[in-house]
Amino acid sequence: MDISFQMVMSQVMLGLNNGVFYAILSLGLAVIFGLLNIVNFAHGALYMLGAYVALLGFTSLGPLLGMPDFHLNYWAALIVSPLVVGAFGIVVERTMLRRLYKFDHLYGLLLTFGLALIIQGVFTNFFNVSGDPYEAKPEILNGVVNLGFMMFPKYRLWVIVVSLLVCFGTWYVIERTKLGSYLRAGTENPELVKAFGVNVPLMITLTYGYGVALAAFAGVLAAPIYSVSPVMGSEMIITVFAVVVIGGMGSIMGSIVTGLLLGMVEGFTKVVYAPASSTVIFLIMVIVLLVKPAGLFGKES
Amino acid sequence: MNKYVWCALILLGLLAPFVVYPIFMMKLLCFALFASAFNLLLGYTGLLSFGHAAFFGGASYVTGYLVKNSGLTPELGVLGGTLFAALLGYIVGSLAIRRQGIYFAMVTLALAQIVYFVALKAPFTGGEDGLQGIPRGDLFGLINLGHVYHVGGSPLGLNLYYFVFVMFCLGFWVIHRTIHSPFGQVLKAIRENEPRAVSLGYKVDRFKLIAFVISASLAGMAGSLKSLVFQLASLTDVSWHTSGEVVLMTLLGGVGTVLGPLAGAFTVVTLQSELSSVGSWITVIIGSIFVICVLLFRRGFIGELGRLLKRSL
């Protein structure tokens, strides 16, 4: 088979498109894990929830409010959906996760696993497992752009750009601002930060809210590309877990970079040997475990 | 626990098929063995594997293939499935014990996903359909496991039931012996305080790996038996849902108790068969039980009972 430069580039770019989703989701997991010490198993389900908020906002919100002409458009959904899901996350943190901090971290994983089952189960009952199309993609993002070496769908380029902005924005806030320094200090020693008069419980709540809002944001971005289905999250979360194992959750930049790279590797595999593309991330995880058990950016001893 | 309780339980197991629908009883025994094997890891070594479906389902495919396509007798099929699970457990275990705690769970989940992909794509697993119509065959080439007796007008597949029951008892006995051996004491030491176990000179990784392989093998045996009972090996058996289910059974019954996984498996299997009419709402119910269990009674039924009776069950 003749593998042309263009073919490789187009798959790598499509891979990068997946990679930004891995990056946003693993970034959210890392932020949550840093402060709450909980691996948020519900992250995939909340990503799915974010996509459904956008979908339902477009198709059903108007009729529900008695205004059949009202549709929540894409741009509004990009703001509203993370807010709704973030608020949901805040309620979950306040009512459930909060009770578990003093116990083994595994209970947090189990609780969020249960939540993921509930959310996925509810949507499986009301929606088609094979997925519904989200048809609110704005006019301006239709068509393709010429990248010089290839033609690339405008919408996917937008997704890549806006995701990178959000990822690096988050990195900047956490690593370079005063608010971020509180967060990092809270990760290291919450008791001491409390003693300095910082409202750590509030910080934890907002962190969880922000982490899951990121997942919802990714869900809205994904909605026009993939069809919106109840199982879109559970397929995603297992891959993202592998990404997180490869990168280690200790570093914000680490999880962003690992997500992007693995997306591109996955795209590249599609050209070289397509059947392996669904497992390549897991195989890389195996290699990383053998060579550098702590993960590429891990600080774990 | 005293021997009267054990005798009563065995008697109950022997008489059960005359009272309860045998297929239900056999499903229960398979999942009880699966959960007990899982509990050896979570309850007695402190390792949360989120990929145990790989062993359960993987072995059920292997047994199904050996019995159906290679024409082996059922006991060899079960042996083959169990050995396969042991080998797979060795591979997954060696990789997963390189990371601790929460990462261990994620690694096992991700590795189990590879097994899922193989089951989905490989030419010998039947893809979406799985392996159907697996014959029950003749035990040792002599006893027909598919034979149905008519007792008081109702058909009973007693041969298969007692085969499954004996295998269950064997598996359960292995777990019981492991827990109460010096080896099991070291496992508990690792669970309670790993750095201390290391400083006492125990090769912790080797102990964890052996525990993992035992647990995986017995989970595999449970899966092998399941494929004979239902004559089916399917993708559900290797999916992450099944991995989650076995965690729930153990948690619900009581992590680190001998009888907990049995009680948990009984509850979940009964719920599933009683609530089969609600369709996919069952996922929501299972999820809710998870949440309630984690929030309100982390010790599980048997764990709470043991606390009331002030003894370990």
Say whether A285 and B298 touch across the interface (CB within 8 A): no
For B102, name the nearest residue in chain A, comparing CA atoms only: A106
Range 182-241 of B in CB contact (< 8 A) with A: 240
Say whether A100 and B294 touch across the interface (CB within 8 A): yes
A83: tokens are 């807010």
Residue pLDDT, tens place only, A119-129: 999 999 888 88
Cα torsion through A267, A273, A276, A277, rounded to 10: 10
Nearest to B36 by CA among B191, B185, B188, B217: B217
The pLDDT, as a whole number, for residue A171 is 93
Establish if B205 belongs to a structural domain: yes
Say whether B111 and A286 touch across the interface (CB within 8 A): yes
B231 confidence band (pLDDT: 50, 70, 90): confident
- Nearest-Cα distance to chain B for A225, in Å, is 23
Other residues' Cβ atoms within 10 Å of the Cβ of residue A144: 13
Lowest mean pLDDT of A20-24, A35-39, A156-160, B129-133, name the range: B129-133
The structural domain count of chain B equals: 1
Q: Which of A33, A103, A109 has its CB closest to that of B105?
A: A109
> Rounded to 5 degrees, what angle do the CA atoms B164, B276, B126 make?
60
| Mean pLDDT value across chain A | 88
Domains and CATH numbers, chain A: 5-291 (1.10.3470)
For the cut 80, the answer to whether the pLDDT of residue B141 exceeds it is no
Transcribe B64-106 into DSSP letters: HHHHHTS---HHHHHHHHHHHHHHHHHHHHHHHTTS-HHHHHH
At which residue do the structure tokens 């007796």 appear?
B149
Q: What percent of chain B has pLDDT over 90?
A: 44
Establish if B10 belongs to a structural domain: no
For B101, name the nearest residue in chain A, comparing CA atoms only: A106
Say whether A121 and B283 touch across the interface (CB within 8 A): yes
- Enclosing H/E stretch for A257: helix A252-272
Q: What are phi and psi for residue A168, nearest 5 degrees?
A: -75, -25
Q: What is the DSSP letter of A132?
A: B
B277: tokens are 């009419």
The pLDDT, as a whole number, for residue A248 is 81
- Segment A210-227 shows an average pLDDT of 93
- Is the CB of residue A260 less than 8 Å away from at least one CB of chain B? no
The pLDDT, as a whole number, for residue A172 is 93
A45 confidence band (pLDDT: 50, 70, 90): very high
Establish if B78 belongs to a structural domain: yes
Residues paired with residue A144 on neighbouring β-strands, in sequence order? A153
Residue pLDDT, tens place only, B242-253: 999 999 999 999
- Nearest-Cα distance to chain A for B277, in Å, is 13
Say whether A111 and B294 touch across the interface (CB within 8 A): yes
- Is the CB of residue A287 less than 8 Å away from at least one CB of chain B? no
Residues in chain B with CB shorter than 8 Å from the CB of A282 are: 110-111, 113-114
Lowest mean pLDDT of A61-75, B48-62, B80-94, name the range: A61-75
The pLDDT, as a whole number, for residue B1 is 62
CB B45 within 8 A of CB B192: no
- Helix spans in B193-297 (H): 194-199, 204-230, 235-238, 240-253, 260-274, 281-296
For A40, name the nearest residue in chain B, comparing CA atoms only: B102
- Nearest-Cα distance to chain B for A122, in Å, is 6
- Which of A106, A288, A290 is best to mutate for the B interface (most B CBs within 10 A)? A106
The pLDDT, as a whole number, for residue A140 is 84
pTM of the model: 0.90
Q: Which of B98, B102, B280 has its CB closest to that of A125?
A: B280
- Is the CB of residue A84 less than 8 Å away from at least one CB of chain B? no
The pLDDT, as a whole number, for residue A300 is 52
Nearest to A167 by CA among A298, A104, A260: A260
Q: Which of A33, A117, A278 has its CB closest to that of B286?
A: A117
**Check: complex ipTM more than 0.85:** yes
How remote is the C-alpha of A261 from its chain's centroid? 15
Judging by DSSP bridges, how do beta strands B143-144 and B138-139 pair with one another?
antiparallel
For the cut 50, the answer to whether the pLDDT of residue B138 exceeds it is yes
- Segment B123-151 shows an average pLDDT of 78
Establish if B282 belongs to a structural domain: no
For the cut 70, the answer to whether the pLDDT of residue B238 exceeds it is yes
> Rounded to 5 degrees, what angle do the CA atoms A276, A282, A285 make?
130
The pLDDT, as a whole number, for residue A9 is 84
- Segment A202-211 shows an average pLDDT of 92
B100: left (phi over 0), alpha (psi -120 to 50) or beta: beta
- Is the CB of residue A241 less than 8 Å away from at least one CB of chain B? yes
Cα distances from B264 to residues B13, B40, B296, in angstroms, run 17, 14, 16
Residues in chain B with CB shorter than 8 Å from the CB of A34 are: none
- Segment A194-203 shows an average pLDDT of 89
CB A25 within 8 A of CB A236: yes
The pLDDT, as a whole number, for residue A3 is 66
- Is the CB of residue A73 less than 8 Å away from at least one CB of chain B? no
Other residues' Cβ atoms within 10 Å of the Cβ of residue A267: 23
Establish if B227 belongs to a structural domain: yes
The domain containing residue B79 runs over which residues? 20-238
| CA dist., res. B78 & res. B65, Å (int) | 11
Say whether A121 and B291 touch across the interface (CB within 8 A): no
- Please tell me whether residue A138 adopts helix, strand or coil conformation: coil
Residues in chain B with CB shorter than 8 Å from the CB of A234 are: 240
- Nearest-Cα distance to chain A for B92, in Å, is 9
Say whether A110 and B286 touch across the interface (CB within 8 A): no
For the cut 70, the answer to whether the pLDDT of residue A301 exceeds it is no
CB A129 within 8 A of CB A231: yes
Other residues' Cβ atoms within 10 Å of the Cβ of residue B9: 15
The pLDDT, as a whole number, for residue A168 is 94
Residues in chain A with CB shorter than 8 Å from the CB of B291 are: 96, 111, 114-115, 118
Cα distances from A83 to residues A49, A179, A251, B168, in angstroms, run 12, 20, 25, 51
For the cut 90, the answer to whether the pLDDT of residue A139 exceeds it is no
Other residues' Cβ atoms within 10 Å of the Cβ of residue B18: 12
- Is the CB of residue B114 less than 8 Å away from at least one CB of chain A? yes
| CA dist., res. A127 & res. A110, Å (int) | 25
- Is the CB of residue B94 less than 8 Å away from at least one CB of chain A? no
| CA dist., res. A168 & res. A228, Å (int) | 27
For the cut 80, the answer to whether the pLDDT of residue A232 exceeds it is yes
Establish if B136 belongs to a structural domain: yes
Q: B207 versus A68: which is more confidently predicted?
A: B207
- Is the CB of residue A68 less than 8 Å away from at least one CB of chain B? no
- Please tell me whether residue A59 adopts helix, strand or coil conformation: helix
| CA dist., res. A141 & res. A73, Å (int) | 13
Say whether B291 and A122 touch across the interface (CB within 8 A): no
Q: What are phi and psi for residue A42, nearest 5 degrees?
A: -75, 0
Q: Which of A110, A122, A242 has its CB closest to that of B251?
A: A110
Establish if B129 belongs to a structural domain: yes
Judging by DSSP bridges, how do beta strands A144-146 and A151-153 pair with one another?
antiparallel
B238: tokens are 């290797």
Establish if B280 belongs to a structural domain: no
Q: B143 versus B111: which is more confidently predicted?
A: B111
Q: What letter represents residue A72's amino acid?
A: L
